[in-house]
Amino acid sequence: MTDNGNLGGANCISSLAGPCAAGTTACQAGALVCVPGSHRSGPIPPGEPHGELPGELHLAPTAGSVVLVHSRCFHRVTANRTANQRFSVNFRARPAGAAAELGGIGVFRTGAYDFAMDRPAMAS
């Protein structure tokens, strides 16, 4: 059973108040999947980009919601199975005085990418 635009389900979390819909196991518009606390665990382990992560939690934010995630938090998205577009905006911040390259390298399960240099990078 899928959410069909209602609250998330199973381990999905909605920004709306109340429990998730009973018996719902998939979010039609896709979910943000993350592993709480994983930003303290080092780089994300290699693997398939959409493969499950141990301890993952599915988030199903509603339109207009804002989700803040540490850039090193293990995360992925699930497929959008609707005809509607889904948008994501990535903002990066660093403490004053920190090296300019801090946060400029995206670390993925398939490797790392240096956004400032527009090329693959070595993960740190």
1 and 59 assigned to the same domain: yes
Q: Are residues 81 and 113 in the same domain?
A: no
Question: Could you give the number of structural domains in the chain?
Answer: 2
**Same domain as 99, residue 87:** no
- Do residues 62 and 123 both lie within one domain? no
Structure confidence at residue 11 (pLDDT)? 42
pLDDT of residue 51: 86
Check: pTM over 0.85? Answer yes or no: no
Q: Are residues 84 and 111 in the same domain?
A: no
CB 56 within 8 A of CB 33: yes
Domain with 75 in it: 1-91
Are 103 and 120 contained in the same domain? yes
pLDDT computed for residue 85 by the predictor:
81
Q: Which pLDDT score is estimated for 10?
A: 39
Q: Which of 11, 42, 40, 14 is nearest to 26 (CA)?
A: 11
Do 77 and 107 lie in a common domain?
no
pLDDT at 101: 67
Residue numbers of the chain with a pLDDT score lower than 70: 1-27, 63, 100-103, 122-124
- CB 59, CB 34: distance < 8 Å: yes
Q: What is the pLDDT of residue 123?
A: 52
